[in-house]
A = this chain, B = another copy of it.
Amino acid sequence: MEVPKYIGIIGAGECSEPIYGLAREVGLEIGKRGWALVCGGLGGVMEASARGCTEAGGITIGILPGLEKASANVYIRLPLPTGLGEGRNLLVVRAAEVLISIAGGFGTLSEIALALKMNKPVIGLETWPDIPGIRYVSDCREAMQWVSKLV
């Protein structure tokens, strides 16, 4: 049974249109490469990236804060309700081999920090600045080059 690589996408539940477009592009590239996308399952960056991944025929896993599968965005193929609230952030990080942080608020910052604490690579796209350990990139193409090296 071939297990796909998991790429974690972290970012806020609401985002601007340009960030939505960027996240969708990242998701698309993940799906094209046969990797699975893991995220928090809600809106904004999570929705956009899951949408792109789905459009490329990829698998999307949404690790949800609440207890209802229906709270996932419509591009999540496999929603996992946890009931842990923000505690699900840790599970996104523990599941992923590599994380890509796109923009994001405090929830995203907690995931960046947890990932770096566990020595998991974090690639940053227009995200929290000046955090030592993040590999900052300027576009989707460069992000994919890093992910390809890392997985």
Q: Which residues of A contact B (CB under 8 A)?
A: 1, 3-4, 6, 36, 54, 59-61, 63, 67, 69, 72, 74-87, 89-91, 94-95, 105-107, 109-110, 112-114, 116-118, 130-131, 133
Contacts and interface: CB of A to CB of B under 8 A. Distances in A.
B107 A117 contact: yes
Indicate how many identical chains form the complex: 4
Contact of A117 (B90, B106, B112): B106
Contacts of A1: 54, 60, 74-77
A117 to B, nearest CB: 4
Nearest first, the 9 closest Cβ-Cβ pairs linking A and B are: A110-B113, A109-B113, A106-B117, A106-B116, A106-B113, A110-B114, A110-B110, A107-B117, A83-B85
